[in-house]
A and B are shown apart, each in its own frame.
Chain A
Amino acid sequence: MIEIKDLHKSYQMGSNSLHVLKGINFNVKEGELVAIMGSSGSGKSTLLNILGMLDEADTGSYFLDNIPIKDLNEKIAARYRNKFLGFIFQSFNLINYKNALDNVAMPLYYQGIKRKERTDKALHYLEKVGLADWATHLPNELSGGQKQRVAIARALASEPKVLLADEPTGALDTKTSYEVMELIQGINDEGKTILIVTHEEDIAHMSKRIVNLKDGLIIDDGIVEQVRANSYV
């Protein structure tokens, strides 16, 4: 599903250049649930953003579902993001003046789907994350956990190939974090490929594979025994 080879990325800051990714190689197969770990500043987000076509690598190759992702113009990048990827952010990134349902329906709007069908689909995914009753609520009327569920529903709505989550539980308390992870595990059980960036050990162990990043290189990559989130309650 994802193949990256020798990926490099530096940030230019004035005359200084900060080499963040120093040659990343890794593949993700369909249906995997991968945790990317590493200390703060190790380049996890940078890697995920490149995978998400929000940012571009300096060198190296990236194939998503066998499609080369290179030198895309913004129009095509936008279409690929819309079709192939679902994003889940630490800070939820919901649009605050849209209710839960409209937030979930947004990627469908950009797919050009008609209003009626959009609403039906969005409602379906809200049901899936257990928030059908909150459809008409604005984000600021929801708890953190609920917001992240809405964000997950939104990421799922466009039926992407891969979900990319950057510290999805970073802003949540432990209990809510586990609930969100339980939801993510459920989605993965249905076959969706998911990458999660985290620096929390317990969250990482709820995945099926942990990739460890340090100073811009993968220092460790291995299959782990998945801990089910619901085993904590």
Chain B
Amino acid sequence: MFNRDRWNEIIEALTANWFRTLLTAFGVFWGIFILVILLAAGKGLENGVKRGFGDIATNTMFMWTQVASKPYKGLPKGRRYNFKIGDVSSIREKVPGLRYISPRNQLGGFGGTNNVIRGLNAGAFNVYGDYPEIINQDPITITSGRFINYGDIDNNRKVAVIGEGVKKELFKFGEEPIGEYIKIQGVSFMVIGTYMKKSNNGDREQGQKEIFVPFTSFSQAFNRADNVGWMAITAEDDNSITNLKKSIIDVVKTNHTIHPEDNRAVGNFDLYEEFSKINGLFIALRGVAYFVGTLVLLSGIIGISNIMLIVVKERTKEIGIRRALGASPWSVRGQILLESIFLTIISGMTGIAVSTGVIFLVNKLLEGMPASDETMFANPSVDLTVVFVALLILISSGLLAGLIPAQVAIRTKPIDALRAD
């Protein structure tokens, strides 16, 4: 099927009229170009918006206590309660499919009074009591030293991991913070590491101004007993936290004697659900890109089909000669189809190449610009699947474009074909 004669003939047929071939090819080129650019732009927008989520594990929910809104088993409504450290183990026991359950305590924060002091420097920072797993749920990059580990947890070590922003405020430029002590609400903690957060929803600056200390020593130092402020819970990759959410909340409701239909007692934020909504939006956007791109492509295909018809008409006599010499209908059809597919693929691939080139340039430009959280556009790209899909579309459209001309080519009786000139 793909021997040299075939190729010679295809090339010959297509180069016979350069200008016409180029014009024809342009239709498909343009269609695929638009398709790829639209898809890449959609991807860029998606990347930009998703960058807002930072590196945070998206299959995650946050859960905190609110006020019980229904009386239950003799307990009044309007009652306050606290998560206990025991809730963590009972959730782990009763709800399978969870990857991380991180209890957290928190104090201070942006806009609050200065709660951290080192020598003459002071600042207001968020201080978290955390387990080591939290770094997998809300990833940060350790820039020096290390993060909290289970040794710290088990031994109630008063150690702290501070953000680069904290370091800037409490330490002199070039000063080594590791091994130094800071006072958090009067309690001394030794700095064991510094970190950087890549990006966080709109508050980049704020993200660098946090302090992580072991959950146990936090509870001890700030008298939290076995209370848990809130939890960050991440599901295994093959489960969605949205599906597990209800079972988790049911567990804490049972633990804290809360009415099963009390929907207000347990506050939560399902990151996965939010993420899915945004994802759905981008899937729709991609659908639009495919739709528009395919329509433009379609007009290109019609162009090719048209030109192939003319080519077939022009070559009626030649086709007649071939059939007199023993060319079977399929060999004639195959020739036309191959020509059409070849033309489609060549022009389509050029379209893909040029559009990826454009995307590459745009990426280069974007790289040169300072990344800011306001640009809702990052790293527009097409992945291999898109190129593969585009190729499939091209092959099938080439086939489609050649179908009618191929049929026309063998419709004429050989004798009539021979008579034509």
Contact = CB atoms under 8 A, between A and B. Distances in A.
Do A and B make up one complex? yes
A145 interface: no
B324 interface: yes
A232 to B, nearest CB: 31
Interface in B249-307: none
Interface stretch (B81-89, B107-115, B205-213, B409-417): B409-417
Q: Which 9 A-B pairs have the closest CB atoms?
A: A82-B326, A110-B326, A54-B415, A55-B415, A78-B328, A107-B325, A54-B414, A93-B321, A74-B329
B4 A75 contact: no
B409 to A, nearest CB: 12
Nearest to A157: B325
Nearest to A94: B321
A26 interface: no
Contact of A158 (B5, B318, B326, B331): B326
What's the dominant secondary structure at chain B's contact region? helix
B326 A111 contact: yes
B3 A110 contact: no
A230 B277 CA distance: 92
Interface in B325-380: 325-331
B167 interface: no
A87 interface: yes
B322 interface: yes
Nearest to A77: B414
Contacts of B331: 110
Contact of B323 (A49, A78, A89, A109): A78
B93 interface: no
Secondary structure dominating the interface of A: helix
Nearest to A107: B325
Interface in A68-96: 74-75, 78-79, 81-83, 87, 89, 93, 95
B324 A81 contact: yes
A87 B415 contact: no
Interface size of A as a range: 20 to 34
Contacts, number: 61
A116 to B, nearest CB: 12
Contacts of B326: 78-79, 81-83, 107, 110-111, 158
Contacts of A75: 328-330
Contact of A82 (B4, B317, B321, B325): B325
Given A54-B413, A97-B12, A158-B325, 4 more contacts: A54-B414, A81-B326, A110-B326, A110-B327
Interface string A131-165: 00000000000000000000000100010000000
Interface of B: 3-5, 12, 16, 317-318, 321-331, 410, 413-415, 418
Given A95-B318, A95-B321, A78 B327 contact: yes
A54 B327 CA distance: 12
A109 B328 contact: no
Contacts of B5: 102, 109
Given A82-B326, A95-B321, A110-B331, A115 B410 contact: no
B4 A115 contact: yes
A129 to B, nearest CB: 17
A49 B329 CA distance: 19
A38 interface: no
A199 B9 CA distance: 37
Contacts of B415: 49, 54-55
Contacts of A110: 322, 325-328, 331
Nearest to A160: B326
Contact of A52 (B318, B322, B324): B324
A64 to B, nearest CB: 15
B413 A106 contact: no
A55 B324 CA distance: 11
Contacts of A154: 325
Contact of B3 (A52, A106, A115): A115
15 contacts: A54-B415, A55-B415, A74-B410, A75-B329, A78-B323, A78-B328, A81-B326, A93-B321, A95-B321, A97-B12, A106-B322, A107-B325, A109-B5, A110-B331, A111-B326
A138 to B, nearest CB: 12
Contact of B325 (A55, A87, A97): A87
A135 to B, nearest CB: 16
Nearest to B421: A91
Nearest to A110: B326
Q: Name the residue in B322, B326, B418 with the highest tally of chain A Cβ atoms < 10 Å from its Cβ.
A: B326
A69 B325 CA distance: 17
A154 B322 CA distance: 12
B324 A79 contact: no
Contacts of B414: 54-55
Contact of A81 (B3, B318, B325): B325
Contacts of A95: 318, 321-322
Contacts of B16: 97
B228 to A, nearest CB: 80
A74 B324 CA distance: 11
Contacts of B418: 54, 89, 93
Nearest to B324: A87
